[in-house]
Amino acid sequence: MIELRNVNKSFEDKQVLFDINAQFFSGKNNLIIGASGGGKSVMMKCMVGLERPESGHIEFDKRDMLSLDEQELREVRREIGMLFQSTALFDSLTIEQNIAFPLQMFSNMTPAERRDRVNFCLKRVNLENINKKFPSEISGGMKKRVGIARAIALDIKYLFCDEPNSGLDPITSRLIDALIDEITKEYGITNIINSHDMKTVFDIGDHILFMYSGKVRWQGGKEDLRQAQKEIKELDEFIKASYFH
């Protein structure tokens, strides 16, 4: 489980996160929703350690990320996988080398064992025979799947997905959602998804957190979302603005 307590973050004079308190649960798809500029990406960056909040606590299974030294922080980060909005595949490496990269850096696997693991991960995301291709040679949906394969190459405990459906057609979006859901449940990962896509929320969301202007306006189970929509004007506007009413 990941827990945030009283997290505040500013960029120069502009405060972007206000006293954030949130919980994200193991084995569940925890979705952060909200309009652009609401603080979702900054909150995710704070959680993975790419930004440092001014105050508060971010605990990964009771380990406070903000009080760890650089070395301890790196150890925790090895339990984290992240699917970036832009996929962030290394464009100078082949697909096989991209997925093998964390294994090469952090495991003592032999080249043959690494190759087997890469093939297993590719198969797990329904991709095969693209080992020698470069990221520029495959489609956006395939890149997302390779990104997931790279994220799960090591035995991770936490998966962060930043806008996993951005730039994808609706059919591929549903395939990616289904894949993320399967992997989360299969490995008991704490999965945090940053999304605008209400279809994703209703399809695979277990725990939902709605952000507005840098504050958590609501959090709860998917089954409570319709009731919350009636009570919170901003959440109602956000849901109604999507195609999915």
Which residue among 6, 67, 104, 126 contacts another protein (CB under 8 A)? 104
For residue 198, how many other CB atoms are within 10 A of its CB? 20
* Contact predicate 190/158, CB 8 Å: yes
Decide if residue 48 touches another protein (CB under 8 A).
yes
Residue nearer to another protein on the CB measure, 77 or 196? 77
How many amino acids of this chain bind another protein (CB under 8 A)?
24
- Residue whose C-alpha is closest to residue 207's, from 45, 44, 5, 22: 22
Which residue among 50, 67, 113, 240 contacts another protein (CB under 8 A)? 50
Residues 138-197 that bind another protein (CB under 8 A): 160
Which residue among 14, 62, 105, 231 contacts another protein (CB under 8 A)? 105
Helices 170-187 and 140-151: crossing angle in degrees, nearest 10, is 10
Phi first, then psi: give them for residue 23, nearest 5 degrees: -130, 140
Q: Is 114 helix (H, G, I), strand (E, B) or coil?
A: helix
Residues 82-101 that bind another protein (CB under 8 A): 82, 84-86, 88-91, 101
Residue nearer to another protein on the CB measure, 150 or 208? 150
